[in-house]
Each structure stands twice: as C-alpha cells, then as structure tokens.
A and B are shown apart, each in its own frame.
Chain A
C-alpha cells in the first residue's frame, strides 16, 4: 500500500547548525506513527518541514505519492495535512467554535458566488460549517466548555481545541506536536482514547512525543531521531530493545517503559 507520507533525504540547517541530516521515513496510511528523540533532536523542525512552515534545504516530500516540498502551508493544509502547535496558538479574538471553524476555512464556499451569498445571509456554508464544528468539538470532548473564551480554558483543554481546529479541515494526515505535554494521568488517558478515536475515523497520525508510556501504548511504528539523524525506525517492541535508542536516551529520561522488561 502506498505510504501516505514519504520523507526522502530531508536535510535542513540553520546557519552553521545542521538540524536535520538525510532523514528518511515512510508513514503507513491509517496508522499511528510516533517520532521520538532527545531534546534538540530536530523533531519539531521535521514537523515544521512536513507541514510547510519551513522549507527543507534538500530532499523530497511525497504525500500520497505526490511531491509537494516548497508549497505554502495553506496549500499543504488543503492537500490534507493538518497540525497542532507545541505551544498552543489559538486565536484569542475568536470564540471556541470560531477557532474550530477556521480549520474548515479552505473547504468552505465550494460553490461559485458563495462568498456573496453568505455575505447577504443567503447561503448554507456558514450554517453547515457551524454544525460540523459542533460535531468536531463533541468529538474531542469539549462540548461542555463551549461558552468559555479560549483563554479561559485550561491548558489541556486548549490543546484539545487545537486538535479540534486541525480536525475541522478533514485531514488525511494529522501532525501532533507533544499533545501530552503537561497532562496529568486522567488527561493522558483521555488523550489516549482521543488518539484511538481519530485513528478509527481513518485519519493517519504522526505524533511527536516525549511521554514514553503513551507512545508505546498507541503507536504502530516509531521513528527515533537523535541530533538530526534517524537512528532507529520500527515497531514499538524493537525500538524498546534497540541499544542505540537506549544509549541516546541514557540520562535523558527515567521512563521505565523504554527499558526492556525483566
């Protein structure tokens, strides 16, 4: 089956600093693929390149077999890749439901003259976008909080709102940058279930995370980055036992989940 995303020999430097070197990876459609590695390994940089926020210096990116490196971020979103941000970047001037509706921005107004119709209150796009947004909010479990302003939400709810916003674009591939950051065990359990729900709905997930237990629980495949290079790529079980991975993490994390079971 064609991988939904192929990363081919991607490199990127910032001035004298080589952030990513010859990174290769393939993501299977419908799977949950994790990207892990010590701090500074280049994970967010890679995510930024995939989503179009950054351009690679060299290499190819293929989405559903089609090369797309160099396209703008909004074009890439229209293609089917959506994302959240490591530090939440919600639109504080918009309501919760409007934040989610922004995600659907590129898919609204399909019919000609829709803008004009909507302006005069005669079209359906706004109403149906609203309904869809409500469904998405329910999907991520934020229905109870609708009346609040985005800045009034807890951090964990804000992150869920960002996920809802990304999902509103009906992506085929969802990039999540440290969705579990700062979550307590209850929130983590809910996140785990949300990831399962997203996967069941047919969306492929690429997760950047530090939280090993979560990664081991939800991932189908893991790619490990260290100092800009891929040092391991495989199913969770083999990653756990990989000596290079263990060495890279030695002293970085005391996550017992990483170590082989005794």
Chain B
C-alpha cells in the first residue's frame, strides 16, 4: 500500500511534519520565526553536496542538521536583544538572504540549482525521524526546558527573575528548531533529487506556519496534524492542486479569524 506514489506523499508529509516541529519549538518560547525555509535550505544543500561526494546518508543528514543548528544559533544571537516583532523581521531577512545566497553561489549551481542528488530518502527513515520528533516534543514539555520555554513566552521578565537564563533558553529554542529544519532539508533534497533556491523561499516558511497554526500552537501534536492535513489536502481535492497557495492562504486567514488556537484542543499537557 505504501508503494510508489503514496510512499512519496507520505515522505513529503513526514518532511512537512518536521518543518512544523522546527517552527513549533521556538514559537513556544514566543520566538516567531519566518525563516525556517532558510535553515531547511542550508541542510538540503549541505547534505546533497556531501552525499554527491560520497559521504554516507546518515552522516550527511547529521551534518545538515548541525549546520542548521549553527545557523540557528547565529540568527538567535541578535534575536536575543530585540522585541518579538523584530525577531520576525530578522528571521524573514535571514530567509531572504539564504535564498539570494544560494541563487548566486555557483559551486552549488547558483540559479540553475543542484541536480543529480542520489535518491537516498526512504519512508522508514522519515518515519523514524518523526517518531523521534514526537518523543522529543512530548518529553521536552515534561522537563525543565519545556517549562522554561512557556515561561519565557508568557513573561520573560518574570522568567528571568525566577532564574531562567533567557539567552540560553532562546538560543536553545532557535538552534533546536533550526536543526530539525536542517534535517528535514536533507530528507527533502534526497527525495526531490533536484533543489534550487526558489524551493526554499518564503512560502516554505509560511507553510510551516500553516502546519502549526492549523494544528494549534499550544498542542505538541499540532504541527504533525497540520502538516499531514495540508499535505494530504491537494491529494484529496483535485481543484486544490491547481490553487494550492490560494487555498492555503485563505485557510490561514480563516484560521486567524475563527480558530487562531488551531483545530486540535489545547492540550495543555501539564500535570497536576
């Protein structure tokens, strides 16, 4: 049943789930990132270059993830001192810069893109990564970091007064999210087999938003639900295929107006 076409759909759904989670983590600390596409691009290009040079897939994926994390750290540094809306602008600018960079960087193909990527992505790998991601978001909520993220989101002055190191928490949130986006990028590159800068543009980051908002920003299963729903929607509704972005855009507006907290119940998941 999971052969061929549907396997491909499932793989892309899994990749989108990872992108949703990559946004979910910084978002739960109140860091609104519109640049997840940029981290994905870094992971995609780096892992593709490595596997084309003979590096094993797992190592290339890991490298893409680490590069994403490093980029997340660098982007997070200036984000520490600025208010929420500026973080949004900063990440948007970051995503744009990454796109311009890869459009012009000849060693990875420049505007013509990078082709001939070995088809190494398989469904079980993406599924395993998603399983890890589910466990991660579930466990994070139950340890110190999860509480710290929520506290920083709600009131960072009070959080700092209670001993939370804002710098460390925010950088960790940024880096973790970016790392996951980098790994997602690696999976994507070895499934799409050809990548160019335009595939990682703002709509990629905007879609990550859609996944999280659709599921619910307060529910750790939200990004998974949202990503699967959005990936499957064009498969189910023919006309959506041709008007994907319009439908998704209208969906975002409708959600923003009527269900900003998402479709899933706000599972607070706190313990008594």
Contacts and interface: CB of A to CB of B under 8 A. Distances in A.
B161 A77 contact: yes
A102 B162 CA distance: 7
Contact of B163 (A78, A97, A98): A78
B207 to A, nearest CB: 26
Contacts of B147: 91, 94, 98, 101-102, 105
Q: Which among B161, B166, B272 has the highest number of chain A CB atoms within 10 Å?
A: B161
Interface residues on B, range: 20 to 34
A83 B161 contact: yes
Interface in B139-195: 139-140, 142-145, 147-148, 150-151, 153-155, 157-166
A115 B143 contact: yes
Contact of B272 (A147, A165, A169): A147
Interface in B98-142: 139-140, 142
B81 interface: no
Contacts of B268: 93, 95
A262 B185 CA distance: 81
Contacts of A126: 142-144
A89 B142 contact: no
A126 B157 CA distance: 24
A53 interface: yes
A146 B272 CA distance: 7
Interface residues of A, number: 40
A51 B157 CA distance: 11
Contacts of A97: 271-272
B218 interface: yes
Given A93-B268, A95-B270, A115 B144 contact: yes
Contacts of A51: 161
Contacts of B166: 74
Given A91-B154, A105-B144, A115-B144, A74 B272 contact: no
B140 A119 contact: yes
A85 interface: yes
Given A119-B140, A121-B139, A165 B154 contact: no
A118 B145 CA distance: 10
Contact of B144 (A95, A118, A146): A118
Interface string A115-127: 1001111000110
Interface in A144-177: 146-147, 165-166, 169
Q: Which among B150, B160, B163, B164 has the highest number of chain A CB atoms within 10 Å?
A: B163
A165 B218 contact: no
Q: Which among B140, B144, B147, B157 has the highest number of chain A CB atoms within 10 Å?
A: B144
Contact of B160 (A73, A95, A118, A119): A73
Nearest to B161: A73
A92 B266 CA distance: 13
Contact of A119 (B139, B157, B164, B271): B139
Given A109-B144, A147-B272, A53 B163 contact: no
B270 A89 contact: no
Contacts of B158: 85, 89-91
B155 A91 contact: yes
Nearest to B270: A95
A43 B215 CA distance: 46
Q: Which among B145, B160, B166 has the highest number of chain A CB atoms within 10 Å?
A: B160
Given A108-B144, A109-B144, A169 B154 contact: no
Contact of A95 (B161, B162, B271): B271
A73 B140 CA distance: 25
B157 A89 contact: yes
A98 B162 contact: no
A126 B139 CA distance: 12
Contacts of A102: 147-148, 151, 159, 162, 164
A169 B160 CA distance: 13
B270 A94 contact: yes
Contacts of A115: 143-145
Contacts of A165: 162
A102 B150 CA distance: 10
A118 B147 CA distance: 13
A106 interface: yes
Interface of B: 139-140, 142-145, 147-148, 150-151, 153-155, 157-166, 218, 268, 270-272
Interface of A: 51-53, 72-74, 77-78, 82-83, 85, 89-95, 97-98, 101-103, 105-109, 115, 118-121, 125-126, 146-147, 165-166, 169
> Top 6 nearest A-B pairs by Cβ distance?
A106-B163, A95-B270, A77-B163, A89-B158, A73-B160, A93-B150
